Amino acid sequence: MAQQRAWVRMPSGKRLDLLNPTPFDWDDADLALGLARTYRWGGHSAWPLPLSVAQHSITVMLLQRAALGGRIDPLTELRELLHDAEEGLLGFDALSVIKPFLGEGFRELSKRLEYAVFLRYGLPSWTPVEHARHKRADRLAAASEAVHVAGWSREEVRDTLKIRAAVLRDDPLAGAYGGTPWEPWPPALACERFLAELARLTELIKVGER
């Protein structure tokens, strides 16, 4: 029986082997576009457009920066920006309610992609303290997105989604980029802004290594 194809063609023309990915299987623009076209909340939105993982990733990065009082090194900030990068390579952000049904195979696939991302960008593994701090920012973003983007009530966030984080009133992205608070960006804009942040941080890391 012929071996089944496990790779996908990236916009750059590179081939990403989903089962055995390497750090050389995509370029930065591929990743940015994939995240800009991958949607949170199952693509459901109270706005005309759904919320991309690219936009969410920048939100979490800014929340972590604020939580640390602006004292965050570029590599740590880059890890925040890329915390969901494997979803952009896969083109799928699984709703939490279906993850238990996807099984160990999907979990392993996601871990392999995440490992390839960490290798490509030289990201250090999370320490328990760092990961707990990251999850606080991620949950804060999720609770706020649930209300302001996906249309859940605050009570539903707490009782149905089981997210205990506060719901922000102010959108951190509006302070950084302007625009209407909590409005999902068009994919092209999300891609452009994510790619700019990625380039900024990777350049800062290179400068620091000289």
- CATH number of 86's domain: 1.10.3210.10
Residue 15 lies in a domain: no
Range of the domain at 148: 22-209
pLDDT at 210: 66
Residue 171 lies in a domain: yes
pLDDT tens for the 210 residues of the chain, in order: 456 888 999 999 999 999 999 999 999 999 999 999 999 999 999 999 999 999 999 999 999 999 999 989 999 999 999 999 999 999 999 998 998 999 999 999 999 999 999 999 999 999 999 999 999 999 999 999 999 999 999 999 999 999 999 999 999 999 999 999 999 999 999 999 999 999 999 999 999 876
Residue 4 lies in a domain: no
Residue 9 lies in a domain: no
Look at the chain and report how many structural domains it folds into: 1
pLDDT at 209: 75
Residue 188 lies in a domain: yes
Torsion of CA 55, 131, 78, 167, to 10 degrees: 30
pLDDT at 1: 46
Q: DSSP for the chain, please give it.
A: -PPPP-EEE-TTS-EEESSS--TTS--HHHHHHHHHTSBSGGG--SSSSPPBHHHHHHHHHHHHHHHTTT---HHHHHHHHTTTHHHHHHT----TTTHHHHHHHHHHHHHHHHHHHHHHHTPPPPPHHHHHHHHHHHHHHHHHHHHHTS---HHHHHHTS---S---SS-HHHHHH-SSTTPPPPHHHHHHHHHHHHHHHHHHHHHHH-
User: What's at 71, amino acid-wise?
Assistant: R
Residue 5 lies in a domain: no
Give which of 99, 98, 97 is closest to 110, Cα–Cα: 99
Whole-structure pTM over 0.85, yes or no?
yes
Residue 1 lies in a domain: no
Residue 10 lies in a domain: no
- The residues with which 9 forms a beta bridge, in sequence order, are 15
